[in-house]
Amino acid sequence: MSALTNYGQAVASTTLALQRLLESTPVELQVTARTLGAARTGVTGASVNVFLYSDGLIAYREATALHGPSRLIAELHYLVSAYAGDDADADAVSQRAFGTARAAIERNPELNVPLGSSDSMRAWLTPSPLTLEAVSSLWLASGQPLRLSFGVMASFTGDAAVPAVTIGTIKDVVALARAGTIAVFSGTDAAAKSQAAASVAQELGNELVTVSLGEIVSADEAATERNLARLFGAAEHAGAVLLVDEADALFGVRPEVLDLSDPYAEVDVAQVLDLFGRASGVVVISVSDSVGLELADRAAIEVRFPPASGEGSLT
């Protein structure tokens, strides 16, 4: 399942599965999934309400993935609140409902979530400690009196909808060549990548201009724009193939939390790629390892080095 493509369905199905779990307890319990301020019409006696108040998505890359994050962990945060049949709460009915729901979560940490007629996924339920301040804030936001409540997190994993670069050959780079086309040369053979870029430039009848990342990209966005404008504006570079050499520091897969000492920590990768798109010729970005998400989304083609047999030259 793609957690992003079908995320809405996955969220709704998880809520319904949690609701069914609480309804299946030995003690008869009515369960709703309404907003905190919604009227309790149609509900009598002890009941609980399941309210989704926030979510989070955590992306990570599996060792076998070549481009960006390949998996997502979704975390759904619910407030489960107990209600009595009347304001008197005779015999502490709301507390019995609270305990019944709480015990059901503890006994069933793994939840089967049907997604359709023949598909399903697993979700994991974890009690989520909530301070009185957090619970009070939720109820105050709804304008309703504070109710006996506890938190539970439902988490599940799914495939990330990651853009994939088309894998091709040097011939394909030439065929796709036009102003602002971005190609990726990936792999550890630096000499082969440089030679391939030279072959592309020769085939197109243009100069090859090789620059390092540090020569053109700066933490100052305006400085980056000036550097590129100067490079693209030079008459001798008109239509040239630009090779940005060994650019992993910015265009490779980067850690979730960037080190403040990273010279590119504040650089907007998408903005830099937009600036590259203004080039009068092809821009080749060379990386040694995996391609970062932004570059994968923007590049027209990727050529890997060493390439497969027969893919390494134009002849």
CATH code reported for the domain at 170-305: 3.40.50.300
Q: What would the mean pLDDT of 246-255 be, rounded to a whole number?
A: 84
Question: Is 28 or 122 the better-scoring residue by pLDDT?
Answer: 122
pLDDT tens for residues 167-197?
A: 899 999 999 999 999 999 999 999 999 999 9
User: What is the structure's pLDDT at 238?
Assistant: 86
User: For 7-159, which CATH superfamily applies?
Assistant: Phage tail protein-like (3.30.2000.10)
In degrees and rounded to multiples of 5, residue 268 shows phi and psi of: -85, 105
User: What is the structure's pLDDT at 4?
Assistant: 55
- Torsion region of 88: left, alpha or beta (phi above 0 gives left; psi -120 to 50 gives alpha): alpha
**Confidence tier at 310 by pLDDT (50, 70, 90):** very low
**Residue 109 predicted with pLDDT over 50:** yes
Q: What value does the mean pLDDT of the chain take?
A: 86
pLDDT tens for residues 183-242?
A: 999 999 999 999 999 999 999 999 999 999 999 998 888 899 999 988 888 877 888 999
User: What is the structure's pLDDT at 75?
Assistant: 95
User: What is the structure's pLDDT at 2?
Assistant: 45
Q: How far apart are CA 219 and CA 224, in angstroms?
A: 8
Angle formed by the axes of helices 221-233 and 269-276, to 10°? Answer: 20
Instruction: Give the sheet arrangement for strand 241-245, strand by strand.
Output: 208-212, 241-245, 283-287, 182-187, 301-305
User: What is the structure's pLDDT at 163?
Assistant: 58
> pLDDT > 70: what percent of the chain?
88
Q: What would the mean pLDDT of 30-35 be, rounded to a whole number?
A: 94
Q: What 3-state class would DSSP assign to 72?
A: strand
Q: What would the mean pLDDT of 267-282 be, rounded to a whole number?
A: 90
**Residue 47 predicted with pLDDT over 80:** yes
User: What is the structure's pLDDT at 313?
Assistant: 52
Which residues in the chain are classed under CATH 3.40.50.300? 170-305
Predicted model pTM: 0.55
**Confidence tier at 1 by pLDDT (50, 70, 90):** very low
User: What is the structure's pLDDT at 148?
Assistant: 92
Which residues in the chain are classed under CATH 3.30.2000.10? 7-159
Using DSSP bridges, classify how beta strands 283-287 and 182-187 pair: parallel, antiparallel or unpaired: parallel
**Confidence tier at 111 by pLDDT (50, 70, 90):** very high
Question: 120: which strand partners?
Answer: 114
User: What is the structure's pLDDT at 116?
Assistant: 73
